[in-house]
A and B are shown apart, each in its own frame.
Chain A
Amino acid sequence: MKTKLKFLIKQSLKKKIKTKWFKVANILILILLIGVVNIDRVISFFGGDFENSTKIYVVDEANAYTLFEKNFKTLAQSLEDLGNYELENTTKSIDELKEEIKEKDSVILNISLSNEEYIKANVISFDPLGTITEQLLQTSLNGIKSAYVLQNSGISENEIAALTSNVSISKEVTNPELEENAEGHNIVSSGLIIVLIVPFFLLITMLTQMIGAEINDEKSTRSMEIIISNVSPKIHFASKIISSTLFVVLQALILIGYALIALLIRKLLTSSFVGTVPEEVSGYVSDTLNMVKNTGVLDLLLKGAPFILLLFIFSFLAYAIVAGVLASMTTNIEDYQQLQTPLMIILLVGYYIAIMASAFEGALFVKIVAYIPMLSFLIAPVIYLLGQISLLELVISTIICGGVTYLLFYFGLRIYKVGILNYSSQDLWKKIFKSVKEK
């Protein structure tokens, strides 16, 4: 029987990998990942202005350039990822400048004095202004106006500087349980949520679809009768669960591989374009890794990794078991699609709770859900990394999930045995409940 089990697993796995959609989907995912990781290069390649700076010609008729420059640079620096700006105080006429900015990403800013409004400005650009550029100009000019008014009111320079500077806020957190870097920790953990949850959400969806399609294929062609007359339903069921789980694990590893390839390509592109890639972009990965390390999330991840991994595997198995049982109860893929809807809803609920977990920090509801199998794999790792539950609680969640997965297999097999040879929907649920009671 072991040989037959191995054979069935191998066959099932081979069948999935040999499909055209698997090959096509993986090629597309690889291209997509490489594209996303190297998006700036892609934009540049197609003539995008991802790295081009916006030049602002300032025609200063109010003698306010120095203050404008100071205000603008301070603001732009805080938003450095959103664009680069170059300022030039010019004496050229507006008409001359209009010629220069044709088809260029440049702006003319004419600042002049006004009797009613103290200061007014005229902005000329070839294309409509971007929202960020407009906000930067607006805020910088507002600053000049305030300073101008204050200057004319007889207040000293030091007093003006003190008045216009930001209020300094020093932060102090008294919760002894929180780490030194709690804020950064939250940012990093929230980022990891997306990285952890989205692929596993997709993989589980893939898993349930595949197992349903395969069992229905065997049932609808009546091959099931031949198969089950030669291998026990237990072996058959186990082969479906193991092969589907192995497949998604394989797919997950392939995704990691693709991510590494994408990063490698980025590195190669960066080294061959030294000088053209902004420093902040080329150092993005190492900065992120450093941030993960410094906030302590990496330590948490390393400590919890074996249990998180186990939790994922138990959950894959649990979903595969439920999907297999549901598929055994149906005779065609359309019926299966309907029957598996509640399973997908459970998955979606887990997904949304996990996404919102950082917003509902410490909520009891979220903590309780982290112990519920089939939801826990999405929530427990996330709130563990957010520091909302301890390692022990993660371990307990994993143990509960493992136990329930075993029970699902134990009772699910009873339904499966009856379901796979049942071709009638008459009294289906009656048959199912009866089969659960029978050994």
Chain B
Amino acid sequence: MLKVENVTKYYGNFLAVDHLTFEVKDGEIFGLLGVNGAGKTTTFRMINGLLDKTEGSITLDGLPIDYSVTDKIGFLTEERSLLTKLTVKEQAIYYGILKGMEEKKILEKLEYWLDRFHITDYKDRKIKELSKGNQQKVQFITAIINEPKLLILDEPFSGLDPINVQQFMDVIRELKNKGTSIIFSSHRMEHVEMFCEKLVVLVHGKSVLAGELKQIKKEYRKKNIHIEANHIDVEALKKVEGVLEVLVNETEMVVKIKSDENVKNVFEFIKKCQDVTKFVVEDATLNEIFLEKVGVNYEN
């Protein structure tokens, strides 16, 4: 289990991380969100032992982060952190040995993962010769080759097509089921919603939203109602009590309401319309919650 307790980081007089606290249990996927400059990279670097914290403590399974502990951490950076002149095999050996593995074990694991990601033929190819998607696969393999206790994934799906995203997701879930603690960061909120059980949102290094995703959504009272019907008087709908906004799409209409108590009012209005084929009440999206808490759209 990773425990980040009251961690603060100053760069000179600049406060990068402000009393941040969270924990990631074994077999849990945790979302670390924030716009650029929020303090995510600094937090990742502190967890990886790359930066000393100004205050607080970070432990993995009760042990403070040092070079004996970082061998148990897998880190997939946002940028491609690969030595592009090396071959896939050389790169895997390079990072594997640095994580304290033996070459024989690295090669065994490499064979398995290359096969799993259908890139066995690229083993002896230079990384610079691979496509972006395949480079991302190699980077992912090097992050998990040591069967890490803690896996940090910063934008893991960048450069991947939907099929490969699904493949990555399957592997991440598999690792979670094996007990790996995973910290996940992405600019795609649907990925965060799909994966994370818990999350923290950073703004200027400070946590503005933290907790279990389900609970956060539950506590956030605003809802979205998806409606499909004919001849709806949009202007009249906007005047219904509790309606905040009405968005008209090609196929449906999304009505944003103040709280679930207002669902009834909207339903009363809609049932008078013709050919109602859809009336679905959903929680607000994580992006909407983020927008309200942070004041900017996360995915922009």
Max chain A CB contacts within 10 Å: which of B49, B95, B97, B100? B97
Indicate which residue in B51, B75, B85 contacts A226 across the interface (CB closer than 8 Å).
Answer: B75
With a cutoff of 8 Å between Cβ atoms, the chain A residues found around residue B12 in the complex are 434
User: How far, in whole Å, are A224 and B83 apart by their CA atoms in the complex?
Assistant: 10
Question: Do B95 and A226 have beta carbons less than 8 Å apart?
Answer: yes
Question: Do A231 and B45 have beta carbons less than 8 Å apart?
Answer: no
Indicate which residue in A221, A230, A434 contacts B82 across the interface (CB closer than 8 Å).
Answer: A221
Closest to A4 in B: B98
With a cutoff of 8 Å between Cβ atoms, the chain A residues found around residue B98 in the complex are 4, 7-8, 226-227, 230-231
CB contact under 8 A between A225 and B45, given known A4-B97, A4-B98, A7-B98: yes
Q: Tell whether B80 is near chain A: CB-to-CB under 8 Å.
A: yes
With a cutoff of 8 Å between Cβ atoms, the chain A residues found around residue B142 in the complex are 226
Q: Tell whether A303 is near chain B: CB-to-CB under 8 Å.
A: no
Residue interface bits B101-118, CB-to-A below 8 A is 1, else 0: 000000000000000000
Q: Tell whether B18 is near chain A: CB-to-CB under 8 Å.
A: no
User: How far, in whole Å, are A11 and B90 apart by their CA atoms in the complex?
Assistant: 10
With a cutoff of 8 Å between Cβ atoms, the chain B residues found around residue A390 in the complex are none
CB contact under 8 A between A221 and B51, given known A11-B94, A226-B75: no
Question: Do B81 and A421 have beta carbons less than 8 Å apart?
Answer: no
- Min Cβ gap A7→B in Å is 5
- Name the interface size band of chain A: 20 to 34
With a cutoff of 8 Å between Cβ atoms, the chain B residues found around residue A1 in the complex are 67
Indicate which residue in B50, B83, B94, B97 contacts A229 across the interface (CB closer than 8 Å).
Answer: B50
User: How far, in whole Å, are A7 and B97 apart by their CA atoms in the complex?
Assistant: 8
- Contacts between chains A and B (CB distance < 8 A), count: 61
Max chain B CB contacts within 10 Å: which of A223, A231, A232? A223
Question: Do A230 and B50 have beta carbons less than 8 Å apart?
Answer: no
Q: Tell whether A222 is near chain B: CB-to-CB under 8 Å.
A: yes
- Min Cβ gap A423→B in Å is 10
- Min Cβ gap B241→A in Å is 52
Question: Do A229 and B84 have beta carbons less than 8 Å apart?
Answer: no
Question: Do A229 and B73 have beta carbons less than 8 Å apart?
Answer: yes
- Min Cβ gap B10→A in Å is 13
Question: Do B83 and A217 have beta carbons less than 8 Å apart?
Answer: yes
Question: Do B50 and A218 have beta carbons less than 8 Å apart?
Answer: no
Closest to A224 in B: B81
With a cutoff of 8 Å between Cβ atoms, the chain B residues found around residue A217 in the complex are 83, 85
Q: Tell whether B181 is near chain A: CB-to-CB under 8 Å.
A: no
- Min Cβ gap B82→A in Å is 6
- Min Cβ gap B72→A in Å is 11
- Min Cβ gap A422→B in Å is 10
User: How far, in whole Å, are A367 and B30 apart by their CA atoms in the complex?
Assistant: 66
User: How far, in whole Å, are A253 and B108 apart by their CA atoms in the complex?
Assistant: 39
Question: Do A230 and B71 have beta carbons less than 8 Å apart?
Answer: yes
Question: Do B85 and A225 have beta carbons less than 8 Å apart?
Answer: no
Closest to B70 in A: A229
User: How far, in whole Å, are A8 and B99 apart by their CA atoms in the complex?
Assistant: 12
Question: Do B50 and A223 have beta carbons less than 8 Å apart?
Answer: no
Q: Tell whether A192 is near chain B: CB-to-CB under 8 Å.
A: no
Q: Tell whether A228 is near chain B: CB-to-CB under 8 Å.
A: yes
User: How far, in whole Å, are A147 and B25 apart by their CA atoms in the complex?
Assistant: 111
User: How far, in whole Å, are A11 and B97 apart by their CA atoms in the complex?
Assistant: 11
With a cutoff of 8 Å between Cβ atoms, the chain B residues found around residue A225 in the complex are 45, 48, 50, 75, 77, 81
Max chain B CB contacts within 10 Å: which of A217, A221, A222? A221
Question: Do A421 and B51 have beta carbons less than 8 Å apart?
Answer: yes
Closest to A421 in B: B50
With a cutoff of 8 Å between Cβ atoms, the chain A residues found around residue B82 in the complex are 221, 223
Closest to B67 in A: A232
Max chain A CB contacts within 10 Å: which of B50, B80, B98? B98
Question: Do B81 and A223 have beta carbons less than 8 Å apart?
Answer: yes
Question: Do B83 and A230 have beta carbons less than 8 Å apart?
Answer: no
With a cutoff of 8 Å between Cβ atoms, the chain B residues found around residue A7 in the complex are 97-98
Max chain A CB contacts within 10 Å: which of B45, B79, B82, B83? B83
User: How far, in whole Å, are A230 and B98 apart by their CA atoms in the complex?
Assistant: 6
With a cutoff of 8 Å between Cβ atoms, the chain A residues found around residue B49 in the complex are 229
With a cutoff of 8 Å between Cβ atoms, the chain A residues found around residue B84 in the complex are 221
Question: Do B83 and A221 have beta carbons less than 8 Å apart?
Answer: yes
Question: Do A221 and B50 have beta carbons less than 8 Å apart?
Answer: no
With a cutoff of 8 Å between Cβ atoms, the chain B residues found around residue A4 in the complex are 97-98, 100
- Min Cβ gap B267→A in Å is 52
Question: Do B50 and A231 have beta carbons less than 8 Å apart?
Answer: no
User: How far, in whole Å, are A225 and B78 apart by their CA atoms in the complex?
Assistant: 11
Question: Do A222 and B81 have beta carbons less than 8 Å apart?
Answer: yes
Question: Do A421 and B45 have beta carbons less than 8 Å apart?
Answer: yes
With a cutoff of 8 Å between Cβ atoms, the chain A residues found around residue B73 in the complex are 229
Question: Do B99 and A218 have beta carbons less than 8 Å apart?
Answer: no
Rank and list the top 5 A-B pairs by shortest CB-CB distance, nearest first. A230-B98, A229-B48, A222-B81, A222-B79, A223-B81
Pick 29 A–B contacts, CB within 8 A, sort by A.
A1-B67, A4-B100, A7-B98, A11-B94, A217-B83, A221-B79, A221-B81, A221-B82, A222-B81, A223-B82, A223-B83, A225-B75, A225-B81, A226-B75, A226-B77, A227-B98, A229-B49, A229-B50, A229-B73, A229-B75, A230-B67, A230-B70, A230-B71, A230-B95, A230-B99, A230-B100, A421-B45, A421-B50, A421-B51
Which A residues are closer than 8 A to B by beta carbons? 1, 3-4, 7-8, 11, 15, 217-218, 221-232, 421, 434
